[in-house]
Amino acid sequence: MPASGSSRRTFIKTVGVAAAAATCSRAATATAQEYKPQVQKKLTQAAARYQDHPKGNEICAGCPYFVRPNGCVVVEGDISPNGWCPIFTTFSPFDRGAHI
């Protein structure tokens, strides 16, 4: 019996490894062939809690998501350079990529 149990375990391991390898290679191939960048959907001004006036010293024109003259990468519609929303950030465009 031990030989039969051992060969059964070996068979299951072999089949499992082969199935996993086949699945992984198929998935990688399908992903590479079917990859299409998705268009980033913007938030509505209401969802972003956008306001057309600054919050203290924070203004849209100082945020890397702001697109001159009156746009935003994250929020839809006309955006005032003097506006503000909670998505405002001051990280350096050189650290994470500029949206200018």
Task: Tell me the average pLDDT across 68-88.
Answer: 96
pLDDT digits (tens, 9 = 90+) for 45-75: 999 999 999 999 999 999 999 999 999 999 9
Assess whether 49 and 84 both reside in one domain. yes
Element holding 46 (H helix, E strand): none
Question: What ranges make up the beta strands (E) of the chain?
Answer: 66-67, 71-72
pLDDT in tens, 2-24: 455 567 777 666 665 655 555 55
- The b/e string for 24-60 (b: 16+ C-beta within 10 A; e otherwise) is eeeeeeeeeeeeeeeeeeebebeebebeeebeeeebb
Together in a domain, 76 and 94: yes
The domain total for the chain is 2
Q: Are residues 10 and 58 in the same domain?
A: no
What integer pLDDT is reported at residue 90 of this predicted model? 87
**Does residue 100 share a domain with residue 57?**
yes
Distance CA 11, CA 69 (A): 66
For residue 69, is the peptide bond before it cis, meaning its omega torsion is within 30 degrees of 0?
yes
- What range does the domain containing 3 cover? 1-36
Tokens of 96: 């994470």
CATH number of the structural domain spanning residue 82: 4.10.490.10
